[in-house]
Structure 1
Amino acid sequence: MEILRLIRIVLSAFFGVRKRASHEADFANINIVALPFVAVFLAACVGGCIFGAVVLIAHATNTMQGF
């Protein structure tokens, strides 16, 4: 379950919705070495989702006739 805790920490850091007490409690109990790898992976996933949405929207507007 540590990987889920790391994912929760990284996602809350992306969106800035953590309380200071829970932030300090989580950092006392996690593996600091794995945290950058999880952060890079999640950043790539979020970026891929945004890129995919843009490609779908751009493709849909590209095939419209008369606009």
Structure 2
Amino acid sequence: MELLRMIRIVLWSFFGVRRRAAHEADFAHVNFSLLPFVALALAALIGGGIFGIVLIVAHATGTVQGF
């Protein structure tokens, strides 16, 4: 359950909009030593997902044009 809480904290921080009360409630029960690793893993997953989508779209458009 703590891992899901940390994932939620990191995703909300990526989005950038959060109420102060919810922010303080989440940080009251989180392990700060693991939070940077969760943030880096999620950033890598999101970046890899975007990169994969771009590769799929670029490959699809390249075959449509006949190159």
TM-score of the two chains, using structure 2 as the length reference: 0.92
Percent identity between the two aligned chains: 67
Q: What value does the CA root-mean-square deviation take over the aligned residues?
A: 1.4
Q: Structure 1 stretches (4+) deviating beyond 6 angstroms?
A: none
Gaps of 5+ in 1: none
Matched, 1:9 2:46: no
2:56 corresponding residue in structure 1: 56
Describe the superposition over 1:8-67 as per-residue Cα deviations: whole angstroms up to 9, x where unpaired.
000011011321111011111110000000000000000001000000000001111458
TM-score of the two chains, using structure 1 as the length reference: 0.92
